[in-house]
Chain A
Amino acid sequence: MAPMLEVRDLAKTYEMDGKPLEVLKDVSLSLDEGDLVALVGKSGSGKSTFLHVVGTLDSPTAGRVFFGGVDLFSRSESELARFRNDTVGFVFQSHHLLPEFTALENVMMPALIRRASRSATESRARELLKAVGLGDRLPHRPTELSGGEQQRVAIARALVLRPNLLLADEPTGNLDEATGEEVFQVLLELNRTENISAIVVTHSERLSARMPRRMRLAGGRLVGEA
């Protein structure tokens, strides 16, 4: 059976002042359902770029990304939008919470985009926020939350629709050890119970060591299991 996610010969080149900057050169990867991958690499090695391309937020310069056998970048914009909504959960390195909305509403947003009913969504969002330790911060806006709190809201938001694939960019980067551990436990738990696959970028050796698969990005290539 074909893998759930397959990345083939992916290359991404940015043009800076007319000079090409090859961030990703030849990245291939396949991921099955329930796989949990740690992605490590030096700052600027292209981890975030990789996640963006896999999540169809950016287009590759060359190469393909298949999901469930479908060549993603041959699809129309609105099909990709649906793919992101149904299948992918993002945790961005800089959170990207919507400033006009409360923590609860931010978490509910993907479901609202899907046009799910508010009431059903709300209970799920409350649950998730409680799970990441923010049960009492529901009506707060992002500006009224600390960086770590924002990050946890972002994690709850990524999980609200039970995605098949979680793309998390340093989800514990701003958290102290104890809280980071808690969030990490939530991830592991979800991976176990709901069979969510995830690619998690992390700088923490301690956390990556506990993940079943590890990859390192260096020189624009994935250099095996770290």
Chain B
Amino acid sequence: MGTKQNKKGKAYTRRDFLKGFGGGAIGAAVVPKILAQESASIETKKGKIPVCSKKQVTLTVNGEKYTLVVEPQETLLDVLRERLNLTGTKKTCNQGECGGCTVLLDDEPVYSCLYLAFRADGKDIRTIEGLAEKENLHPVQQAFIDTDAYQCGFCAPGFIMSTVGYLETQGNSQSNMKLNMEDIKTAISGNICRCGNYDQIYKAVAEAAKKMGRS
């Protein structure tokens, strides 16, 4: 898609355009009013069940807190990409089959396309953008580069998040943990690489395990 110049002479990208629509994080001050308008309830013999079409949530993403209002059907994936502009997490199959949208939710890998944003309230979310420390890549990122585990690269953020989630929960080499190839394959079995670069990806995970003292 072509780009347009804005007033400051900076190029508009398709993403800025979309972002303008989605609205960034909405300030907490306007929240109660919106929520009040949107709330209702269902009467039952056992009391009222609250019903809403908007909810205020606080997400901690890569260590930063965001307070925003989400609709029940908004997925964590869409909130990350469209509202927080964290587009490293990929929207690929959008139905829990490919793993491109994998993020860590309280340190566990989940598909953000099948996880509703309202449920992430109060949770700690880590995405590919949060791995590197300044110029230093995370050992898993470095291992993917060192072993040529990228082809088109589109699936890489998902594979990397699955790998980080997996390796962080494994004991280190002192605890006599030995990772074998079968464990590695199982750990990243929820991710698919359309280019079929699996051999290099498996090597990358094994290499990362070494770098992190997990093998």
Decide whether A and B are members of one complex: no
**Which residues of B are interface residues toward A (Cβ below 8 A)?**
none
